[in-house]
Amino acid sequence: MSSFTSIAPDKLARLIGTAKTPVLIDVRTDEDFAADPRLIPGAVRRNHEDAAEWGHQFSGQAAIVVCLRGQKLAEGTAAWLRHVNVSAETLAGGFEGWKAARLPLVPAAKLPARDRQGRTVWVTRARPKVDRIACPWLIRRFIDPNAVFLFVAPSEVIAVGERFNAAPFDIENVFWSHRGELCTFDVMIEELGLATPPLLRLATMVRAADTGRLDLSPEAPGLLAASLGLSRMYSDDLEQLEAGLTLYDAFYRWCRDATDETHNWPTSKAKP
């Protein structure tokens, strides 16, 4: 595992949002990050000078290293990571190349503080149906693959958030919540800079299913039926979330790759 390799921004963009996304490690200097404090979706910040110390936590995984222009800091960090069994590549063109391609960037200031293990922590009402599964899926796939979600009694969401340093979502009078006709999933996409055509299409489906306006999206009744079915199948909210992640993976890939595909049966009709 000694050869240098890189990945193009458009190829990485196809991986982000899927369960196969590699670990994204941003090693820009503090000065470069301060000049544009945004992150490629799912990226974590690390100091390149300490790569020999923190690299072991990614052992056995695939990683993409991002510096400002894809040169010395990314190459050096990736080389160190390959010494500790990380399949490390660099992002061609670095952060500037990604930005030049007009690909999504997440404002770091909008993200909750991370815990001692480097995870974002979120809290919401127990017994999720639509929005409270869709939002965790968005966070896990585009913001923090290791995010923790606490499902608690509705009356305790705010207090749990304060005591456990967790960001509350999908309840009234908090930042991450419904706004007018938008549901929480819509708000997260907008605030986190993730307004790509596939996610906006999925957001319409989620909003329609979550707010009972099924006329907004032909696919919404199916999403609602699947969501309610999962809520009956699982009494454990975390087990339901894990199953729901696969459901939203499928809907996202349909929104991104398969909206023009149809399925007809029979494939050919017998001539009279």
pLDDT digits (tens, 9 = 90+) for 169-227: 999 999 999 999 999 999 999 999 999 999 999 999 999 999 999 999 999 999 999 99
| Cα 89 to Cα 101: distance, rounded to the nearest angstrom | 19
Q: Which residues of the chain have pLDDT under 70?
A: 1-3, 267-272
For the chain, the domain total comes to: 2
What local confidence, expressed as pLDDT, does residue 170 receive? 98
Q: Is the domain of 28 the same as that of 55? A: yes
Q: Is the domain of 126 the same as that of 97? A: no
Residues with Cβ within 8 Å of 228's Cβ and at least 6 positions away in sequence, in order, are 129
What local confidence, expressed as pLDDT, does residue 122 receive? 98
Q: Is the domain of 117 the same as that of 77? A: no
Last-in-domain residue among 106, 140, 174 = 106
Residue 199 half-sphere exposure, CB side, CA atoms within 13 Å? 22
Q: Is the domain of 124 the same as that of 252? A: yes
With respect to residue 95, please indicate whether it lies within any of the assigned structural domains: yes
What local confidence, expressed as pLDDT, does residue 2 receive? 42
What local confidence, expressed as pLDDT, does residue 3 receive? 53
| Cα 61 to Cα 23: distance, rounded to the nearest angstrom | 7
Residue 256 neighbours by CB distance under 10 Å = 17
What local confidence, expressed as pLDDT, does residue 1 receive? 42
Q: Is the domain of 70 the same as that of 169? A: no
Q: Is the domain of 34 the same as that of 115? A: no
Q: Is the domain of 119 the same as that of 226? A: yes
Residue ranges making up the domain that contains 16: 6-106
What local confidence, expressed as pLDDT, does residue 270 receive? 56
Is pTM beyond 0.85 here? yes
What local confidence, expressed as pLDDT, does residue 262 receive? 85
DSSP H or E stretch at residue 140: helix 131-142
With respect to residue 140, please indicate whether it lies within any of the assigned structural domains: yes
Q: Is the domain of 137 the same as that of 14? A: no
